[in-house]
């Protein structure tokens, strides 16, 4: 190993250690408290749950927090048309197969298999975007809690294995229906929506602890985000993540400009940068002018963007 490889290996281990110490930033109250409790009930009852909600409401985050609370591995995969069963289970490394044959040493396990072996929480994000034949490859792991690993044999999942599927609402663009076979294995459905105003503002504060965000700034940011959810011109509105991004960017911009407070002008500018790419408008609507108009409407002429 040369000096560059050694330095990278050392730095990689440092970053891996840092990742294991990182705590999930989440507000467990109201709908999130209820969802957390239902997850515990499902696991105790041997039932596989699904979580349905729009993007950015914390579906994956609550699973990370659930795994963290019990000290278990959390592994996950986001579904799309390109996912194959091998992305879930794993596959053989061709270079290692040449040296060691089709042995366990030559096998790179996927996130589902890791969770089954170690007894972890497995989150399948956007499960309704998977091709149906990939969805059907989950039937045995979800029903029998076992899986056949090609050339290595069948394994039985660790008793701590807990699979959960998350989905965007079917009416959203890009979402499909679950196959009837997989839907039959999901026994409990937990629906998450956008939280109450006070809760969402608290979530933003929790995710920007290094900034002194005033109540006025937080109210303004929430007003912008909330307005996107009530517009008929917007197909996919701003998520909680967008509100966090506006808050953090506005605070940093104010700091760079040596402003004593985060005023409406700075929030407007930050919101324009964030929302232009965060929103999906109806066909025929130009994003940038639409965002500028929305910001002016919510904040007023003081918030006119560049």
Residue 247: per-residue pLDDT: 98
Q: What are 87-107's pLDDT values in tens digits? A: 999 999 999 999 999 999 999
Residue 2: per-residue pLDDT: 81
Q: What are 125-155's pLDDT values in tens digits? A: 999 889 999 999 999 999 999 999 999 999 9
Residue 175 scores a pLDDT above 80: no
DSSP tag of 15: H
Q: What are 211-257's pLDDT values in tens digits? A: 989 999 999 999 999 999 999 999 999 999 999 999 999 999 999 99
Model confidence at 58, pLDDT cuts 50, 70, 90, reads very high
Model confidence at 171, pLDDT cuts 50, 70, 90, reads low
Residue 172: per-residue pLDDT: 55
Structure-model confidence comparison of residues 20 and 28, the more confident one: 28
Residue 305: per-residue pLDDT: 40
Residue 277 scores a pLDDT above 60: yes
Model confidence at 176, pLDDT cuts 50, 70, 90, reads low
Residue 21: per-residue pLDDT: 82
Residue 302: per-residue pLDDT: 42
Neighbours of 182 (CB within 10 A): 25
Residue 306: per-residue pLDDT: 41
Q: What are 254-263's pLDDT values in tens digits? A: 999 999 999 9
Kindly write down the DSSP assignment for every residue of 249-298, as one continuous string. HHHHHHHHTT-SS--HHHHHHHHHHHHHHH-EEPTT--HHHHHHHHHHHH
- CB within 8 A of 148, min separation 6: which ones? 140, 154
Residue 304: per-residue pLDDT: 43
Q: What structural domains does the chain harbor?
A: 3-191 (3.40.50.300), 197-303 (1.10.8.80)
pLDDT > 70 in the chain, percent: 95
**What values do phi and psi take at 256, rounded to 5?**
-65, -35
């Amino acid at each position: 190993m040369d000096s560059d490889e050694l330095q990278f290996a050392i730095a990689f281990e440092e970053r891996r250690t840092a990742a294991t110490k990182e705590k999930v930033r989440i507000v467990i109250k109201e709908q999130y408290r209820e969802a957390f409790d239902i997850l515990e009930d499902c696991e105790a009852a041997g039932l596989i749950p699904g979580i349905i909600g729009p993007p950015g409401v914390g579906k994956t985050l609550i699973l990370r927090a659930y795994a963290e609370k019990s000290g278990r591995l959390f592994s996950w995969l986001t579904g799309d048309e390109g996912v194959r069963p091998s992305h879930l289970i794993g596959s053989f490394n061709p270079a290692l197969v040449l040296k060691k044959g089709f042995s366990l040493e030559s096998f790179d396990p996927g996130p589902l298999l890791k969770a089954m072996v170690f007894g972890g929480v497995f989150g399948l994000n956007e499960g309704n975007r998977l091709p149906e034949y990939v969805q059907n490859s989950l039937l045995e792991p979800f029903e029998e809690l076992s899986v056949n690993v090609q050339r290595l044999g069948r394994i039985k999942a660790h008793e701590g294995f807990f699979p959960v599927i998350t989905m965007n609402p079917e009416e959203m663009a890009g979402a499909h229906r679950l196959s009837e076979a997989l839907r039959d294995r999901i026994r409990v459905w937990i629906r998450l929506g956008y939280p109450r105003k006070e809760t969402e503002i608290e979530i933003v504060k929790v995710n920007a602890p290094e900034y002194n965000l005033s109540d006025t700034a937080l109210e303004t940011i929430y007003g912008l985000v909330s307005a996107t959810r009530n517009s008929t011109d917007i197909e996919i509105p701003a998520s909680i993540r967008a509100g966090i991004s506006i808050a953090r960017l506005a605070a940093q911009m104010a700091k760079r400009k040596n402003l004593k407070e985060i005023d409406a002008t700075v929030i407007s500018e930050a919101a324009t940068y964030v929302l232009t790419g965060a929103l999906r408008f109806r066909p025929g609507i130009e994003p940038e002018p639409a965002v500028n108009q929305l910001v002016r409407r919510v904040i007023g002429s003081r918030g006119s963007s560049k």
